[in-house]
Structure formats: structure tokens, C-alpha cells
């Protein structure tokens, strides 16, 4: 038997007990502790290196970038960093305590994200159901939990979306106290555009669910909130250009298909995404769960994003539980927290935070945090800098490390700066998908040296190409320099007796 929840009454509230009240605290504590112990895992992405370098540049120049300063191919071209505040925070954390700083900062932000999610869920669902959602969300987001700007923005995404859905559950417009949250999000990460886009579907859910007599006034209040949210998002150093930057990324077309985190979901092997998706479908079929049409549309939109872009799985993981929480509470039962538990929880939270600060300092004093540089061309860059060459054709994956080491790049992870054609041409050149692209790029940009992966097709071709000399090679990277006298071929011997 299914239960319609489109206009159901609020769920019955019963005492959830101290476990429910403390669940957000324990979740935050557990996530933080796990991430701190596995802290070097947060530094596994070379992007972290150039994010810190750019944050330091902003601090040194007391300004945010408006043009490219790191590549020689796009030097001086318009470019902005919508992640400037996160980059500054990482740089300051690094200045204060080395790589321990970015690790602690990222771990704290991620822990806060899951504590906020647990707090949202536990006032609507039982502690056990809330914990299942939190664990599922954590499993889906683990691959993307890195010390990069997006994790600093995650708590603000949960607060923003959770605040709007709470207002929809109450058939109200969101509080304008949410707007400072949007201001911070808009300066931490370009994903704030998604937050703006979510205003319309959540507003539709609120208006459709409201009494007919209240729909018009509610729609107007949501429209006013949406306008205020847009204005709040413009409170950044770039104004409206920050919104346009996201459009540039989405318009990269074929280039996005070549970047791993933008790949569509892959079900050729069983993974966490497939497991939880199947379990969710099974639960719906088994329990006969029904959800309002407007929320079904929101969930389908989130699912489409996660299926089409691997990096969007974390959005589905964090937002879907909040979208489903109240409908599920009305159908499978809910719990509420006693108000008189608030003071002890607040006092306990303060004590736990203080203990965490002490424990973090103690752990950091005996444990060294540092990026995993096994995939970074450390020795090769050292040799490259000795050559004193300025125009180097580098592998895309080496770009972030080159920025960190102060070497001008041919291309790097700021794909929106280089554009679709440039990125695809470079990819086709290094892989010899279109060999003529390699020669064209070498000539057009007057390349003095190449700095490519040792196993790449372009590297192997240069090994046998006259005019290029291999001067360094290891398991990861190989350097060739342009040298007119370098010969790797001979004219074939012709037997004149052959008729």
C-alpha cells in the first residue's frame, strides 16, 4: 500500500533521545578524525599545489587575478579565479603550519558538511535512518574529498539547499539570513551558480504544495528571495563575470569529455554509486515510497547530473537525502529532539572542539603531512629549470606542478582559459591522434623544449625525430630540447644493382 505525501500532515513527533541530539556531533567528530588520520590522502591531487600558489600570489599582490599570469601561451588573456577566497585560505593555512594547515582546513570543512547534513536529517528521521544517509553520502563523495576549493564550499551548499528545502517543507519563503551564506559561497567556489539554479525548483515545490489561496503571495516572496540571492552572489571581486565563468566551463564541449572528473558515470565495474542507486530503487519498490512530483523532478535532475558528470555525484549524495527527508518522515515515521537537550549539546560540542584542537596539534607534532608527489615530475622539473628554456610544451597533467614550481606552462588545469579547441588540439598532439597537430604546435609556439609523459606517443616520436635531443628521462617524464644538429635517422642504403 502506498501513502500519498503531496499534502500530508506534519509527521508525528516523538522523543528522539540523546543519541539523536548528539548524532551530528559524533558524525563530525568521526569524519574529522578519519580524514586527519588519512590526511595525506587529501593532498593527492596536484591541483592543490597550484591552488596554494595562486592564493599566495593574491596575498602578495593584494589583488585577485584578472588575466593569466602562469602560462606563456595565454599570458595576459582575461582570466578570473572564482575560487579566490578558498585559495587565500589554503595559502594562509600553509603559511601558518605547512601542509598541516590545508589538511586541517579541508578536514574541518568536510566534517562540518556531514555534521550539518546529519543535523538536518536527525530532526526529521530516526537516528539510524539518518546515519544510513550520511554513510551513503560519505561513500559517494570520498573519491572527490581533496584539499581543493570545492570542499570549503560544501558546508555552505548544505546550509543553502537545506535552508530552502526547510522553507518549502513549511510552505514558506526562505529566511533572508541565508543570503550571507550565498555571499561566502560565491567567493569560495564557482559552484554557487548551482545554488542559484536550485532556487526555482525548490520554489516551485513550495508553491505547488501550498494552499491555493497562499500560492500567489508565496510565489512573490520566493521571487524576491531569488532576486536577493542573485544580488548576493554578485558580492565578489568579479561581479557578474563570476556567473559567466561557469558558463565558459560548461561550454568546453569535447574538452570536458577528456577530463576524468567530468566523465559520465561508468557502470562497467560495480562501485559505490551503482550499489547505493540500486539499494535506493529497491527501497522505493519494497516500501512503496511516494514523493511529490516536484521533488521527483528535483531528484531526477540531480541524478541526471551525477550520471553525466562524475564530479556531480557528491551533489546528489548531499542534496538527495535532504530532498527525501520530509516525505520519508511522513511515511516511515520521524523523531524529534527535546529542546532541553540543546544546552548540554552546546556545552559538549564546545568541549569536543577544544579537545580536537589539542589532539590535532599533538598529532601534527608527530606526523608529517605532505603531498603525494609520486605522480609529480619532481626530478624532471629540477632538470628542466637547469636548461633555462622559456617555451616548454608540457603534458596537461604536469601543469599544476609546473605552476607550483614557478615554470610557465603551455597548458594546465585552468581549462576554461585555454578553451575547447586548444585543449583538444593539445590532447590530439600528445597522443598523436592527429600527428600534424604536434608539429603545428611546436612551430606555432616556437617551442624550445617538450616536457611530456615518458610513455606518451609524442615522446616516442620525438625520440626518433631529427632536430630534437632527449636530455632527460625517468619513469614519469621525458625532456626533449630543440637542437638543429640532432640526428636520429640516416638516408637508406640504395643497392644500385637492383633493377
Domain extent, residue 61, equals 17-358
Pair 116, 155: CB distance under 8 Å? yes
Regarding whether 153 and 208 lie in a shared domain, the answer is yes
- 401 assigned to some structural domain: yes
Question: What is residue 341's predicted lDDT score, i.e. its pLDDT?
Answer: 41
**Does residue 76 belong to any structural domain of this protein?**
yes
Q: Are residues 52 and 198 in the same domain?
A: yes
Q: Is residue 493 part of a domain?
A: no
Q: Is residue 365 part of a domain?
A: no
Residues of the chain with pLDDT under 50: 1-18, 335-344, 494, 498-499
Q: Which of 259, 65, 429 lies closest to 250 in space, CA to CA?
A: 259
- What pLDDT sits at residue 373? 77
The pLDDT score that the predictor gives to residue 312 is 85
Residues 331 and 470 placed together within one structural domain of the fold:
no
Max distance between CA atoms of the chain, in angstroms, equals 105
Between vectors from CA 321 to CA 316 and to CA 326, what angle results, nearest 5°?
Answer: 140
Residue 236, CA distances (Å) to 144, 155, 181, 191 in order: 26, 19, 13, 14
Neighbours of 94 (CB within 10 A): 22
- The verdict on residue 415 lying in a domain is yes
422 and 300 together in one domain:
no
Tell me if 3 is assigned to some domain.
Answer: no
CA–CA distances in Å: residue 430 to residues 435, 437, 453, 474: 8, 9, 9, 18
Residue 102, classified by CB atoms within 10 Å of its CB into exposed (0-12), middle (13-18) or buried (19+), is: buried
Are 348 and 395 part of one and the same domain? no
* pLDDT at residue 442, rounded to an integer: 93
| Residue whose grid cell is 632538470 | 383
Cell triple for 446? 616556437
Are 45 and 175 within one domain?
yes
User: Are residues 100 and 218 located together in one domain of the fold?
Assistant: yes
- Gap between the Cα atoms of 52 and 80, Å rounded: 16
**Distance, CA of 425 to CA of 358 (rounded, Å):** 51
Residue partners of 302: CB distance under 8 A and separation at least 6:
312, 315, 316, 319, 320, 323
Same domain, 293 and 440: no
209 and 312 inside one domain: yes
pTM above 0.95, yes or no: no
- 382 and 351 belong to one structural domain: no
Total tally of structural domains belonging to the chain: 2
Quick one: cell of 306?
A: 551525477
Nearest in space to 221 (alpha carbons), one of 159, 174, 157, 181: 174
CA distance 125 to 148: 32
| 84 inside domain | yes
Same domain, 161 and 224: yes
- CA 467/CA 115 separation, integer angstroms: 59
Answer yes or no: do 117 and 199 share one domain.
Answer: yes
pLDDT score recorded for residue 364: 84
Q: 358, 386, 401: which is the final residue of a domain?
A: 358
Element (H, E) at 481: strand 477-482
Question: Parallel, antiparallel, or unpaired: how do β-strands 392-394 and 449-453 relate?
Answer: parallel
* Residue 81 in grid coordinates: 579565479
Q: Is 360 helix (H, G, I), strand (E, B) or coil?
A: helix
How far, in Å, CA of 313 to CA of 321, rounded? 13
Amino acid at each position: 500500500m502506498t501513502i500519498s505525501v503531496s499534502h500530508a500532515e506534519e509527521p508525528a513527533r516523538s522523543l528522539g533521545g540523546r543519541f539523536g541530539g548528539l548524532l551530528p556531533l559524533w558524525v563530525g567528530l568521526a569524519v574529522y578524525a578519519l580524514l586527519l588520520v588519512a590526511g595525506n590522502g587529501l593532498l593527492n591531487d596536484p591541483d592543490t599545489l597550484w591552488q596554494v600558489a595562486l592564493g599566495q600570489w593574491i596575498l602578495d599582490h593584494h589583488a585577485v587575478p584578472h588575466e593569466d599570469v602562469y602560462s606563456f601561451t595565454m599570458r595576459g588573456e582575461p582570466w578570473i579565479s572564482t575560487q579566490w577566497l578558498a585559495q587565500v585560505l589554503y595559502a594562509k593555512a600553509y603559511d601558518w603550519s605547512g601542509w598541516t594547515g590545508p589538511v586541517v582546513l579541508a578536514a574541518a570543512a568536510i566534517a562540518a558538511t556531514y555534521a550539518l547534513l546529519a543535523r538536518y536529517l536527525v530532526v526529521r528521521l530516526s537516528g539510524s535512518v539518518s546515519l544510513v544517509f550520511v554513510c551513503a553520502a560519505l561513500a559517494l563523495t570520498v573519491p572527490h574529498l581533496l584539499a581543493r576549493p570545492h570542499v570549503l564550499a560544501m558546508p555552505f551548499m548544505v546550509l543553502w539547499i537545506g535552508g530552502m528545502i526547510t522553507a518549502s517543507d513549511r510552505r514558506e519563503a526562505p529566511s533572508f539570513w541565508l543570503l550571507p551564506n550565498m555571499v561566502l559561497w560565491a567567493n569560495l567556489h564557482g559552484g554557487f551558480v548551482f545554488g542559484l539554479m536550485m532556487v526555482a525548483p525548490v520554489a516551485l515545490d513550495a508553491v505547488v504544495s501550498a494552499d491555493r489561496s497562499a500560492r500567489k503571495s508565496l510565489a512573490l516572496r520566493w521571487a524576491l528571495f531569488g532576486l536577493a540571492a542573485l544580488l548576493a552572489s554578485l558580492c565578489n571581486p568579479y561581479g557578474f563575470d563570476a556567473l559567466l565563468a561557469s558558463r565558459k566551463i560548461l561550454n568546453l564541449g569535447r574538452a570536458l569529455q577528456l577530463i576524468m572528473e567530468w566523465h559520465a558515470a561508468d557502470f562497467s565495474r560495480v562501485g559505490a554509486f551503482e550499489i547505493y542507486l540500486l539499494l535506493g530503487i529497491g527501497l522505493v519498490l519494497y516500501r512503496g515510497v511516494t514523493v511529490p512530483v516536484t521533488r521527483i523532478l528535483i531528484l531526477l535532475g540531480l541524478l541526471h547530473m551525477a550520471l553525466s558528470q562524475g564530479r556531480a555525484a557528491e551533489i546528489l549524495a548531499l542534496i538527495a537525502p535532504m530532498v527525501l527527508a520530509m516525505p520519508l518522515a511522513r511515511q516511515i515515521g520521524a523523531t524529534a529532539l527535546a529542546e532541553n537537550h540543546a544546552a548540554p549539546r552546546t556545552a559538549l560540542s564546545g568541549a569536543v572542539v577544544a579537545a580536537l584542537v589539542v589532539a590535532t596539534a599533538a598529532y601534527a607534532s608527530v606526523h608529517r603531512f605532505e603531498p603525494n608527489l609520486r605522480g609529480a615530475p619532481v626530478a624532471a622539473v629540477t632538470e628542466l629549470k637547469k636548461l633555462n628554456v622559456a617555451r616548454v610544451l608540457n603534458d596537461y597533467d604536469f601543469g599544476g606542478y609546473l605552476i607550483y614550481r614557478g615554470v610557465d606552462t603551455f597548458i594546465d588545469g585552468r581549462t576554461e582559459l585555454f578553451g575547447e579547441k586548444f585543449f583538444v588540439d593539445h590532447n590530439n598532439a600528445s597522443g598523436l591522434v592527429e600527428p600534424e597537430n604536434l608539429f603545428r604546435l611546436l612551430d606555432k609556439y616556437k617551442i624550445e623544449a617538450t616536457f611530456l609523459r615518458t610513455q606518451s606517443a609524442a615522446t616516442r616520436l620525438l625520440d626518433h625525430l631529427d632536430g630534437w635531443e632527449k636530455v632527460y628521462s625517468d619513469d614519469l617524464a621525458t625532456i626533449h630540447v630543440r637542437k638543429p644538429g640532432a640526428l636520429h635517422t640516416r638516408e637508406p642504403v640504395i643497392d644500385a644493382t637492383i633493377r
